[in-house]
Amino acid sequence: MPLTDVLALDDSRRLTGASLLLDAPGAVMEVHLPEARAEDALAAWERHLRALLDALGWADATLASRRYPEGASLAFTAPLDALYAATEVNEAAWAMTVAELGEEPLPELQAEVERLRGLIEEEHNPTLLELADAAAARGVTFLWDDDDVSVGQGTGVKTWPVDDIYPPDAIAWADVHDVPVALVTGTNGKSTTARLLGAILRADGRTPGVTSTDRIIVGHDILDTGDYSGPGGARTVLRDPRVETAVLEVARGGLLRRGLGTPTATAVAVTNVADDHLGDYGIETVEGLARVKFVVTKALGEGGVLVANAEDPYVQHQAHRLRPILEAQGATICWTALDPDDERVALHHERGGAVCAVVDGHLAYGHRSEWTRVIAVNDIPITLGGAARYNIRNALIALGLARALGVSDAAIAKGLAAFRSDPDTNPGRGNVFEVGEARVWMDFAHNEHGLSALSEAVLALPSRRRLVLLGHAGDRTDAEISGLARSAAKFEADKFILAEYPEHLRGRELGDIPRLLRKTLRAEGVPDDAIEVAPGPLEGTKQALDWAEPGDLLLLLVLSKRDEATALVREAAAGARHA
User: What pLDDT was estimated at residue 578?
Assistant: 59
Q: Give the mean pLDDT of 108-132.
A: 96
The pLDDT tens digits for 133-184 are 999 999 999 999 999 999 999 999 999 999 899 999 999 999 999 999 999 9
Comparing 135 with 105, which gets the higher pLDDT?
Answer: 135
As its CATH architecture, domain 181-418 has 3-Layer(aba) Sandwich (3.40)
Separation between Cα atoms, residue 289 and residue 256, nearest integer Å:
10
Residues 6+ apart with CB under 8 A from 161: 147, 148, 149
Closest CA to 371 of 382, 383, 360: 360
Distance (Å, whole) CA 254 – CA 212: 12
Q: How many residues does the chain have?
A: 579
Confidence of residue 443 (pLDDT cuts 50, 70, 90): confident
pLDDT at site 579:
57
Mean pLDDT, to the nearest integer, of 41-56? 98
Residues in contact with 249: Cβ distance below 8 Å, sequence separation at least 6, in sequence order? 184, 185, 190, 191, 194, 210, 211, 212, 213, 228, 229, 233
For the domain spanning 431-577, the CATH number is 3.90.190.20
Q: What is the pLDDT of residues 498-542, one digit of tens each?
A: 998 888 777 888 888 999 999 999 999 999 999 999 999 999 999
Do residues 325 and 318 make contact, with C-beta atoms less than 8 angstroms apart?
Answer: no
Q: Is residue 48 a contact partner of residue 130, using CB atoms and an 8 Å limit?
A: no
Q: Are 59 and 49 in contact (CB under 8 A)?
A: no
- C-alpha–C-alpha distance, residues 164 and 176, integer Å: 18
User: 485: which residues sit within 8 A by CB, 6+ positions away?
Assistant: 470, 516, 517, 520, 521, 524
Strands 181-185 and 265-270 turn out to be: parallel
CB atoms within 10 A of CB 50: 16
**pLDDT over 70 (residue 550):** yes
pLDDT number for residue 1: 54
Residue 184: helix, strand or coil by DSSP? strand
Q: Residues 471-504: pLDDT tens digits?
A: 988 877 888 889 889 989 988 899 999 998 888 7
pLDDT in tens, 378-426: 999 999 999 899 999 999 999 999 999 999 999 999 999 999 988 888 8
Contacts of residue 504, defined as CB under 8 A and 6 or more positions apart, other chains included, come to 473, 474, 475, 559, 560
Give me the pLDDT at residue 257, please: 95
Query: CA-CA distance, 484 to 275, in Å (whole number)?
Result: 11
Residue 304 has pLDDT above 90, yes or no: yes
Q: Are 166 and 172 a contacting pair, CB within 8 Å? A: no
| Angle, CA of 546, 547 and 549, to the nearest 5° | 105
**Cα-based torsion angle of the residue sequence 195, 201, 206, 211 in order, rounded to the nearest 10 degrees:** -20
How would residue 445 be classed by pLDDT, with cut points 50, 70 and 90? confident
- H-type helices in 18-159, by residue range? 35-56, 83-101, 109-123, 126-137
Is 551 in contact with 465 (CB distance < 8 Å)? yes
DSSP string, 272-319: ---S-STTGGG--SHHHHHHHHGGGGGGEEEEEEEEEETT-HHHHHHH
The structure's pTM equals: 0.91
Contact yes or no for 97/31 (Cβ under 8 A): no
Instruction: Indicate the residue type of 227.
Output: D
Q: Which amino acid appears at position 404 of this protein?
A: A
Q: What are the phi and psi torsion angles at 374 (to 5°)?
A: -100, -45
Q: What is the pLDDT of residues 321-341, one digit of tens each?
A: 999 999 999 999 999 999 999
